[in-house]
């Protein structure tokens, strides 16, 4: 279980789970500036620069990983791998939405959307509506920040400002969601912040709201051994101390490490979906983005799952 989470906790973009959205956006910003990027997010840097989280803004500095390498070569490799993972993950789910749009789906729901900018940066077909569900302050920060820079959505965008632990289906309906229309759902960077029973409830709710032909894409939760988590914690604390980063959040403390968490592919296949998965390791290697060379338990890495409702 997480040591920093409670059943009724909340956050803005600079605290708790909200700050992890800044971490992911920083990775997208870094990827965008590579010579041959897997994805392009011209808005990620804008969103990170104003977030006020401290540590993740440092990732906007091109020399940051090089500076880490001077102090801790092993940690630098991990940081590079983390950035590559985020790029590969984003690339995979961008392709999911492109396929859903090509199949005629025009209703999109992004769960715990954080600083996801797909409603702005992807080329959506006419008539597409994107619903973003997240904490009110997180959605407000994104919309206000991008509007201040003259950025407008490329689809009809509806905010659904609610915690997924509450009655989000009702809030989604109030925002104009039509459960009789096929929907493309995304749960990316989410499940690790939910207990196992909340994960089951989430997919049951998605299933109930999904018309035939709906699609879902999911990033599953990797399970790291306790000694591996402690090693990662120690390395991160050393980096924070080296760069004088105060009050840095250990992301691992925000996650729920439930050993009895359901296998997402199995759950979906048992509840009216046709689902399949690819391992994140295989996808990273396919795109030539695998960095780690040390032996690591395969269960420590996530899978990317897609499913279609029959």
- pLDDT tens for 107-128 read 999 999 999 999 999 999 999 9
Does residue 179 carry a pLDDT above 70? yes
CB atoms within 10 A of CB 159: 20
Q: Which pLDDT score is estimated for 49?
A: 86
Does residue 180 carry a pLDDT above 90? yes
Measured CA to CA, the distance from residue 108 to residue 215 in angstroms comes to 10
Positive or negative: CA dihedral 73, 74, 77, 79: negative
Q: Is residue 249 part of a domain?
A: yes
Q: Is residue 107 part of a domain?
A: yes
Range of the domain at 41: 17-290+298-309
The answer to whether the CB of 132 falls within 8 A of the CB of 154 is: no
The pTM of the full predicted model, rounded to 2 decimals, is 0.86
Can you give the length of the chain in residues? 310
Q: Is residue 4 part of a domain?
A: no
Q: Is residue 11 part of a domain?
A: no
* Helix or strand (DSSP H, E) at 158: strand 156-161
Q: Is residue 43 part of a domain?
A: yes
Burial class (CB in 10 A: 0-12, 13-18, 19+), 150: exposed
- Beta-sheet pairing, 215-219 with 303-309: antiparallel
Structural domain tally of the chain? 1
The answer to whether the CB of 101 falls within 8 A of the CB of 215 is: no
Residue 238 is part of a domain; what is its CATH number? 3.40.50.150
Does residue 11 carry a pLDDT above 50? no
Between 246 and 198, the higher pLDDT residue = 198
Q: Is residue 3 part of a domain?
A: no
Q: Which pLDDT score is estimated for 245?
A: 55
Provide the percentage of residues in the chain whose pLDDT is more than 90. Answer: 62
Q: Is residue 219 part of a domain?
A: yes
Q: Is residue 8 part of a domain?
A: no
Q: Which pLDDT score is estimated for 5?
A: 43
């Amino acid at each position: 279980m997480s040591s920093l989470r409670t059943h009724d906790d909340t956050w803005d973009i600079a605290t708790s789970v909200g700050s992890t959205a800044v971490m992911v956006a920083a990775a997208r910003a870094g990827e965008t500036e590579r010579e041959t990027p897997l994805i392009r997010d011209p808005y990620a840097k804008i969103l990170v620069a104003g977030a006020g989280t401290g540590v993740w803004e440092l990732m906007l500095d091109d020399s940051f990983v090089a500076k880490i390498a001077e102090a801790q070569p092993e940690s630098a490799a991990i940081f590079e791998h983390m950035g590559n993972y985020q790029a590969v993950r984003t690339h995979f789910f961008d392709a999911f939405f492109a396929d859903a749009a090509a199949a005629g789906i025009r209703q999109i729901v992004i769960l715990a959307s954080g600083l996801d900018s797909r409603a702005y940066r992807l080329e959506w077909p006419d008539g597409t509506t994107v619903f973003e569900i997240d904490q009110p302050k997180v959605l407000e920060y994104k919309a206000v920040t991008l509007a201040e820079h003259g950025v407008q959505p490329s689809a009809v965008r509806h905010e659904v400002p609610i915690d997924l632990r509450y009655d989000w289906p009702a809030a989604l309906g109030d925002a104009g969601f039509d459960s009789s229309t096929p929907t493309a759902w995304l749960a990316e960077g989410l499940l690790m912040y939910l207990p196992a029973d909340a994960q089951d409830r989430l997919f049951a709710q998605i299933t109930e709201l999904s018309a035939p032909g709906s699609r879902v894409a999911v990033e599953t939760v990797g399970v790291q051994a306790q000694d591996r988590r402690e090693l990662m914690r120690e390395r991160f604390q050393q980096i924070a101390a080296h760069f004088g980063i105060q009050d840095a959040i250990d992301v691992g403390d925000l996650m729920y490490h439930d050993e009895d968490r359901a296998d997402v592919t199995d759950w979906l296949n048992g509840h009216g979906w046709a689902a399949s998965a690819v391992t994140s390791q295989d996808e990273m290697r396919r795109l030539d983005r695998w960095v780690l060379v040390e032996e690591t338990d395969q269960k420590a890495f996530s899978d990317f799952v897609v499913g279609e409702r029959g």
